[in-house]
Amino acid sequence: MLRLPRFDMVSPTTVDGVVAALQTPGARLVAGGTDILPNLKHRLDRPPVLVDLGRVAELRTIDVDGDVLRIGAGMTLTEVSEHPRVREHFPSLSQAAGLVASPLIRNMGTIGGNVNLDTRCRYVNQTDFWRSAIGGCLKSEGDVCHVVPGGKLCVAAMSSDCVPVLISLGATIVQVGPNGRRELALETFYTADGTQHTAREDGEVSTELRVPLPKGPRRATYSKWSVRGSIDFPLVSVALRIDLAQDAVSSVVQDVVAVVGVLGSRPRVVTRLDDAVGLKLSDPAFATAVATRVHAQCKPLENVPYEAPYRRQMLRVHTRRAIEALVDAG
């Protein structure tokens, strides 16, 4: 069994306590531990102290606050997936949270951890011994990229199932740090540098996700493909949100948002979907138009298993099928 490195552990009970504990240079947060602990076993980091979020009660709520649903960062993925308000307003989020890894991991892992999931790469998420055989890389001990030869920017993949969905729903994230509280659109939270792929500032903790309640009829879904039916990170990951004029699949589409994960370190918000707007959701031309744009704009890399050209082709298929499934569901 791989061993964890040695570290101290503190368990504050308030967000302020967490922020204070994060003043220790190199301190890292741990909630469910399903991402950071394997990474520590792989010696991808050696924090002097882990700040445990398990006792911070204020992170453990889901409630409607005016026209947004507040989801506390400490809610487990199982809790998010099964929560009545989430199911009622955001079925695609319920779906995505329920597709992360396996039931045991969803019982441990939190939504805050999932949106802060470190980027992943076949050349990074290995033991330190393994990485020593290839001399490391930009994200570990080396200075080369094995995915993009000659590349100077790490392209490790944003592999969260929930992030594309939350972006598609227009979610914001609340960060609390030594300089107080700030709220930013989740879409702007991610950067193109896989070694530091979020806008998190030193000493900050994500406290909640705020998802605006739908203002009109809508269909939303999440499409995930992985080799196995459980455990695996996504290899194809597409979130769709379709706002409708009336609450029927025969209705005209007023707006459509497609967000794709597992490309580089930042999810891709697909643009120029205007030609799909105005079509009926049930019109096959709508599905084709969206799938074509997704395919054209998203270029998977060899940073996760399975050939990138294959995964690119699958983006088109799975996007179209996800829309067809929405139509079939009525």
Decide whether 130 or 192 has the Cβ nearer to other proteins.
130
Radius of gyration of the chain (CA): 20
Among the residue ranges 1-9, 18-26, 194-202, 262-270, the one whose residues contact other proteins (CB under 8 A): 1-9
Binding other proteins by CB under 8 A: which of 90, 189, 190, 225?
225
- Rule CB under 8 A: say whether 317 interacts with other proteins: yes
- Rule CB under 8 A: say whether 9 interacts with other proteins: no
Pairing mode of beta strands 180-185, 205-212 = unpaired
Decide whether 15 or 147 has the Cβ nearer to other proteins.
147
Count Cα atoms within 13 angstroms, Cβ side, for 112: 29
Q: Is 133 exposed, middle or buried (0-12, 13-18, 19+ CB in 10 A)?
A: exposed
- Cα(213)–Cα(64) distance, integer angstroms: 9
φ/ψ of residue 150, rounded to 5: 85, -10
- Rule CB under 8 A: say whether 189 interacts with other proteins: no
- Rule CB under 8 A: say whether 3 interacts with other proteins: yes
Shortest CB 16 distance to other proteins, Å: 34
Among the residue ranges 124-132, 175-183, 187-195, 197-205, the one whose residues contact other proteins (CB under 8 A): 124-132
Binding other proteins by CB under 8 A: which of 6, 143, 150, 180?
6
Number of residues that bind other proteins (CB under 8 A): 30
Shortest CB 123 distance to other proteins, Å: 8
CB atoms closer than 10 angstroms to residue 241: 22
Nearest C-alpha neighbor of 56 from the set 96, 110, 102: 110
Decide whether 127 or 188 has the Cβ nearer to other proteins.
127
Shortest CB 264 distance to other proteins, Å: 20
- Rule CB under 8 A: say whether 232 interacts with other proteins: yes
Binding other proteins by CB under 8 A: which of 9, 66, 180, 228?
228
Binding other proteins by CB under 8 A: which of 58, 306, 324, 327?
306
Binding other proteins by CB under 8 A: which of 259, 316, 319, 326?
316
Shortest CB 56 distance to other proteins, Å: 29
- Cα(243)–Cα(324) distance, integer angstroms: 16
Among the residue ranges 19-27, 89-97, 206-214, 300-308, the one whose residues contact other proteins (CB under 8 A): 300-308
Shortest CB 102 distance to other proteins, Å: 8
- Rule CB under 8 A: say whether 230 interacts with other proteins: yes
Shortest CB 97 distance to other proteins, Å: 18
| Binding interface with other proteins (CB under 8 A) | 1-3, 6, 102, 122-123, 126-127, 129-130, 132-134, 146, 225, 227-232, 305-307, 310, 313-314, 316-317
